[in-house]
Amino acid sequence: MSPESSGPALALPVLDEELAARLRARLVEVEEALSGHIQSEAAFVTEAARHLMDAGGKRFRPLLVLLAAETGPNAASDEVIHAACVVELTHLASLYHDDVMDEADLRRGADSANARWDNHVAILTGDWLFSKSSELTADLGPDAVRIQAHTFSRLVEGQILETVPPASPEVALEHHLRVVAGKTGSLIATSALYGARFAGAPREIEDALAAYGEIVGAAFQISDDILDIASESDESGKTPGTDLREGVPTLPVLLVRRAGRPEDARLISLLDGDLSSDEALAEALVLLRAHPAMAEARAYVVARAQEAKDLLKVLAEGPVRDALEAFADVVATRTA
């Protein structure tokens, strides 16, 4: 079979060929369903909503829904596909808003919606996508609506908390981890929970997978923040250094500040200063990349991935558990 006919490439290594083929086929179903869901009667709305969807993306969240569903007897149910669309549309909606907040001009290797059109279009398209995801959630019943509403309030709270300083420098790290758990852990936890729930997995497995998703989500965000500093090019489809330029606190920067080494005076003054010039940003990136805080942040992510994998002991040994372990590993060591 050619790679095209076997479906999209999976964003994680799945050694079991049968499981991999099943996941690829289900992802094709998700893609088709997503494409239908973002069809508006207004052609421009469809165009704006399609923009980032068509630009690509790893589809990590729907993949996690599909993989978590493999732990239950009804992995092939329509509700699982529906749930996968709910999480991807919520995620996509949040990206439109996030790029406005971050003034980002590149996303998934394409112009961000705010750069391609303007902030109004980006914000309203995010709202529209979120309303689509809410409509789909309603089809999944009141429990799903409650879970989605709670997830969404955590996501927005995380994003808001990121814009306010911690109560004191001593709690900066704790504050940051709360932000990360809210803005990213929440939706990835729900992805795993939805998969287990709509495939009819037992409660014990549902709880373990939700906890696993929460930790994997935090690790995913921190890896993303490390990549914002470490990647030399826009291979991630985003502009490196965006967080630094926008003054968004991330784990490596917080670790530099906590270490407070005298030799970091130049780096800290750059971080505290204006990074709008390309020269200043480049200098900060060079100093940061060489700083031991980067290895410390990577070690933190690897430790969290291990914590997540430990939660999988409730699952029977086999290809699904192996793939969920690989998922945690990929998140911890991702390079794009």
Q: Which does 93 bind (CB under 5 to 8 A by kind): Mg ion, ligand FPP, none?
A: ligand FPP
Residue closer to ligand FPP (CB basis): 151 or 184: 184
Determine the Cα–Cα distance for residues 217 and 66; give it in Å rounded to an integer. Answer: 16
Q: Which residues, at least 6 apart from 174, have a Cβ–Cβ distance to it below 8 Å?
A: 166
Q: Which is nearer to Mg ion, 70 or 98 (CB)?
A: 98
What CA–CA distance (Å, rounded) separates 33 from 85?
7
Q: Which does 126 bind (CB under 5 to 8 A by kind): Mg ion, ligand FPP, none?
A: ligand FPP
Q: Which helix (DSSP H) or strand (DSSP E) does residue 111 occupy?
A: strand 110-111
Nearer CB in complex with ligand FPP: 127/310: 127
User: Which among ligand FPP, Mg ion, none contacts residue 57 (Cβ within 5 to 8 A by kind)?
Assistant: none
User: Are 314 and 236 in contact, with CB atoms under 8 Å apart?
Assistant: no
Question: 197 touches which of ligand FPP, Mg ion, none (CB within 5 to 8 A by kind)?
Answer: none
Smallest separation, CB 62 to ligand FPP (Å)? 16
Q: Name which of 160, 161, 130, 162 is nearest 148 in CA terms.
A: 130
Which CB sits closer to Mg ion, 94 or 137?
94
Report in angstroms how near the CB of residue 87 gets to ligand FPP at its nearest. Answer: 12
List residues near ligand FPP by CB under 6 A. Answer: 93-94, 97-98, 101-102, 126-127, 130, 155-156, 159, 183-184, 224, 228, 238
Q: How far is the CB of 5 from ligand FPP (least distance, A)?
A: 32
Q: Which is nearer to ligand FPP, 35 or 159 (CB)?
A: 159
Q: Tell me the C-alpha distance between 292 and 333, whole Å.
A: 17
Binding partner selected for residue 155 from Mg ion, ligand FPP, none, CB under the kind-specific 5 to 8 Å limit: ligand FPP
184 binds, among ligand FPP, Mg ion, none (CB under 5 to 8 A by kind): ligand FPP
Minimal distance, residue 152 CB to ligand FPP, in Å: 7
Instruction: Identify what 156 binds: ligand FPP, Mg ion, none; CB under 5 to 8 Å per kind.
Output: ligand FPP
**Which is closer to Mg ion, CB of 33 or CB of 218?**
218
> Where do contacts with Mg ion occur on this chain (CB under 5 A)?
98, 102
CA distance 335 to 220: 11
Instruction: Give min distance, CB of 95 to Mg ion, in A.
Output: 8
CB nearer ligand FPP, residue 183 or residue 257: 183
Cβ distance to ligand FPP smaller for residue 208 or 294: 294
Alpha helices in the chain (DSSP H): 17-37, 43-54, 60-69, 78-101, 113-116, 119-139, 142-162, 172-180, 186-198, 203-230, 242-246, 251-259, 265-272, 278-289, 292-310, 319-333
Measure CA 230 to chain center.
18
* From Mg ion, ligand FPP, none, interface partner of 159 (C-beta below 5 to 8 A by class): ligand FPP
Is the alpha carbon torsion for 168, 180, 186, 202 positive or negative?
A: negative
CA 224 to the chain's CA centroid: 8
Minimum CB separation from ligand FPP for residue 108, in Å?
A: 9
b/e string for 35-62 if b means 16 or more Cβ within 10 A? eebbebeeeebebbbbbbbebebbbbbb
Nearest approach, Cβ of residue 202 and ligand FPP (Å) = 30
| Cβ count within 10 A of residue 156 | 15
C-beta of 109: minimal distance to Mg ion in Å?
A: 15
